[in-house]
């Protein structure tokens, strides 16, 4: 067995791999490995998910905004070509899910070699569009209950997904918006950029999940809306039970606890003008 190494300027991640299952260089450099922790998707050198740990990412990205909304019937996902976020969103039995993924090769590679979507990508409630999500949002004249951005780390291709113009367009077409917002431990600059640029929303909150497959382990998410985001535990628990959702990582109690931030992160969040 060999090692896959994800290296950045000041830190790195090493995963033992059995073999490489797939590689394609097109719009993005896509690799899929068989590892000691299950299948692993890598895009442009960065780990996107590992099967053993992916629930702590996809469940927290999807269920926190979906359960914040009292009745999410129409959902938009930008990115998420592996299907993990769509899988979790569909557990809420929405009427319609639109998923906009820019790279068809990610979808097909994950369908063929991984399958974490568990059939979500072929669900009749889901419409898959292979196009630029930024342009889709910019030109969209529909309204969505929940909009989730499941994107990669900032790169030349994804950088517009972190711009104020994109967030402004998202706020126009969604009641509740959610995204992954990088590692506040090892990517503080990128984390601060997200907080600064999402100021177009009236209300924003940061929450956390423990994700071993990402450097530093602590990963942040941002939920935003032009309406109140305060939902009590009893109400979240009732919605969770009424929708009969089964999860591996997420619970209503984890949902609430995820918004409790360590002091150093509270200080950053307050400094950037957000509630804690």
* Binding site per annotation, positions for spermidine: 58, 82
CA distance 175 to 145: 5
The CA angle 140-142-146, to the nearest 5 degrees, is 100
CA distance 241 to 226: 27
Alpha carbon dihedral 35, 40, 45, 47, in 10-degree steps, equals -110
Full strand arrangement of the beta sheet holding 218-225: 126-130, 96-101, 74-79, 144-150, 174-180, 218-225, 203-210
Tell which residue, 88, 125, 124, 133, has the closest CA to residue 106: 133
Does residue 91 contact residue 65 with C-beta atoms inside 8 Å?
no
Cross-strand partners of 38: 35
Active site residue 150: yes
Catalytic: which of 145, 150, 153, 175? 150
Q: Which two tokens stand for residue 182?
A: 């990088």
What's the helix, strand, coil split of the chain in %, to 5? 35, 30, 35
Binding-site residues, in ranges, read 28, 58, 82, 101, 132-133, 156
- Which distant-in-sequence residues (6+ apart) come within 8 Å of 51 by Cβ? 37, 38, 39, 40, 114, 116
Cα 172 versus chain centre, distance: 20
Binding-site residues for S-methyl-5'-thioadenosine, in ranges, read 28, 101, 132-133, 156
HSE value, Cβ hemisphere, 13 Å, CA-based, for 25: 1
Residues with catalytic function: 150
């Amino acid at each position: 067995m060999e090692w896959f190494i994800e290296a950045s300027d000041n830190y790195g991640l090493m995963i033992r791999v059995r073999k490489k299952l797939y590689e394609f260089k097109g719009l993005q450099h896509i690799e899929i490995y068989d590892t000691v922790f299950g299948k692993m998707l890598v895009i442009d050198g960065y780990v996107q998910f590992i099967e053993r740990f992916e629930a702590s990412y996809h469940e927290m990205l999807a269920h926190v905004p979906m359960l914040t909304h009292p009745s999410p019937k129409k959902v938009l996902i930008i990115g998420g070509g592996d299907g993990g976020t769509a899988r979790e969103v569909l557990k809420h039995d929405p009427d319609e899910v639109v998923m906009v993924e820019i790279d068809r090769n990610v979808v097909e590679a994950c369908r063929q070699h991984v399958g974490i979507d568990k059939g979500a990508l072929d669900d009749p409630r889901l419409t898959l569009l292979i196009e630029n999500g930024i342009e889709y949002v910019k030109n969209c004249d529909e309204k969505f209950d929940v909009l989730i951005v499941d994107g990669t780390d900032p790169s030349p291709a994804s950088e517009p997904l972190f711009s104020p113009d994109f967030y402004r367009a998202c706020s126009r077409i969604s009641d509740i918006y959610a995204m992954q917002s990088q590692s506040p431990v090892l990517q503080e600059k990128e984390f601060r950029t997200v907080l600064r640029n999402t100021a177009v929303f009236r209300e924003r909150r940061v929450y956390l999940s423990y994700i071993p497959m990402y450097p530093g382990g602590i990963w942040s998410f941002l939920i935003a809306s032009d309406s109140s985001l305060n939902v009590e535990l009893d109400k979240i628990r009732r919605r969770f039970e009424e929708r009969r959702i089964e999860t591996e990582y997420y619970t209503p109690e984890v949902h609430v606890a995820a918004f409790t931030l360590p002091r150093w992160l509270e200080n950053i969040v307050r400094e950037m003008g957000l509630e804690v």
